[in-house]
Structure 1
């Protein structure tokens, strides 16, 4: 039996996780990667009374015990966002729901360091809670309301940001659709019918420079996001491949706020979106399963080394908030 110190849970197409596995191999650490889309190819026995997880993959046997397992790296959303679709058969629905439940139940390894613990991720994916914690820590936040009515006291001529309350992955005409944040005039909101679902309405902060801050434990990796030396109107993700990601130093108090917001949500890792406007930094949101691999090539930040340093260390910076 191969005794495992680091468990990696991902899927086979997640190139972000590839960086972690390659670095663990370089360090000659004993790890096991389980892909969520390949569970049927594994033989798994989880002995609950003894807290021993046995996995057989292609005639290789692995054993994971709480007393020898040092850390678990798990990078996936907790909410099931692929709602019922007619083309998913019952067997596939059962596969998704039951293996998702299995992964949640790996939190039985309570004394193991997680990046991130699914229970904490579930809590942290609530954007309104993030704003509450951010304001309490000291961040400036945009004026924000959640509503399903146009009976609002807002300025018809003013610009606002409209966004979904949760990541919206939809299907239309057999194609996947994603809803980005949009800049709209107040009159557009007042003229719209909003009763079907809640939306988030925020003050539009401008001029602005978007800032992405990747946090792992106490390590902070900030970049400014610019196009031709200037900030971007609206949602920068709409033109992600045409932008520059420039490493820089945050003010020390903002850097500390970034570490604290991640910690306060019970996380060890977070991808934070900030806006800088006229010297003020506004907290927008934190993604507990955020992407960072594109920053390795685009900005030279070796985030994978920071994550592996944290996994390998004795540090366990996430607070238990559940």
Structure 2
């Protein structure tokens, strides 16, 4: 039987987790990776006599016990977002709901490091909560209104976002809502009553900064085209952008670390805007954010940092 030091909850094709597993193998760490889309291929039980988890994967047996477990890397959002009008069988619904409940119950492993704890992730995924915490610790945040109508507006342009990540299934094609630049007139004439939206001050010129916080380590990357920031949502032109590692001012770096800690997290992917006056504006934090794309594009050693945190070295 293999005694597990690090448990990873992920998906079969998650490259971010792949990077961490490679580093854990280099450290000769006993880890167990459980993929949510492959739970039916495992034999799993938790017995209330000891509140330990026994897992059989193929011919290998694993013991997950708080006596030996150091950490859990939880690579999954807590709010399950389903594409509307997607047919799901009763079996699929039962599979997803019950296994998600099972994962949440891994909170029995309390005295270990979580990246991140599902309870804390649940709270940290909320955009309004994020802005409150960021403002309280000293971040500059853009003036933001959450509403289902257009209030009195002073500026000529605004950034409009969904309050939560919005996916759609349109003519059998998956759709995703990006941030959009909207004129004041168009916004005031829009019918918004059916759902709340995020109305945020339009900042231009600006440069997007992605900050990856792993424990007390901070990796920052600016996102540019031809050395200049991208107007609007850079993901719309993501094939043309370049990622370059940058150094944050000490105060901004410390705020990023503090925000992650204040939210009860050990990892966070933070989006900032850098203005032409070298001010840094907080936009949001993702407690389950992606970072694998930064390993090669920006040469950032995030996997090594993550593995070090998980094995507590």
* In 2: Cα distance, 1:17 partner to 1:202 partner: 33
**Post-superposition CA distance 1:162-218 (Å, at most 9, x none):** 000001111111121110000111111101000110000000111101100000110
TM-score by length of 2: 0.98
**Which of 248-257 and 236-245 deviates more?**
236-245
**Post-superposition CA distance 1:199-242 (Å, at most 9, x none):** 00000111101100000110000011110000000001112232
* In 1: Cα distance, 2:120 partner to 2:83 partner: 22
Aligned residue pair count:
312
* In 1: Cα distance, 2:17 partner to 2:237 partner: 24
SS of structure 2 residue aligned to 1:253: helix
SS of structure 2 residue aligned to 1:295: helix
1:45 is aligned to: 45
1:178 is aligned to: 176
2:304 is aligned to: 305
Counterparts of residues 13-24 of structure 1 (less than 5 Å): 13-24=13-24
* In 2: Cα distance, 1:58 partner to 1:22 partner: 20
Counterparts of residues 237-248 of structure 1 (less than 5 Å): 237-248=235-246
> How far does residue 113 in structure 1 lie from its aligned partner after superposition?
0.8
* In 1: Cα distance, 2:14 partner to 2:29 partner: 20
2:284 is aligned to: 285
> How far does residue 84 in structure 1 lie from its aligned partner after superposition?
6.0
Gaps of 5+ in 2: none
2:35 is aligned to: 35
Please, which of 190, 193, 200 is the counterpart of residue 192 of structure 1? 190
**Post-superposition CA distance 1:71-111 (Å, at most 9, x none):** 00111111010156452100000000000110011011011
Q: Are 2:218 and 1:208 equivalent residues in the alignment?
A: no
* In 2: Cα distance, 1:163 partner to 1:142 partner: 13
* In 2: Cα distance, 1:266 partner to 1:183 partner: 33
TM-score by length of 1: 0.95
* In 2: Cα distance, 1:261 partner to 1:269 partner: 10
2:61 is aligned to: 61
1:164 is aligned to: 162
Counterparts of residues 76-87 of structure 1 (less than 5 Å): 76-82=76-82, 85-87=85-87
SS of structure 2 residue aligned to 1:209: strand
Question: Structure 2 vs 1, CA of residues 258 and 66 (structure 1 numbering), >3 Å: closer, same or farther?
Answer: same
* In 1: Cα distance, 2:79 partner to 2:279 partner: 33
**Post-superposition CA distance 1:114-137 (Å, at most 9, x none):** 011111100000011000010010
Gaps of 5+ in 1: 315-322
Counterparts of residues 101-250 of structure 1 (less than 5 Å): 101-150=101-150, 152-155=151-154, 158-250=156-248
**Which of 166-175 and 131-140 deviates more?**
166-175
* In 2: Cα distance, 1:98 partner to 1:83 partner: 19
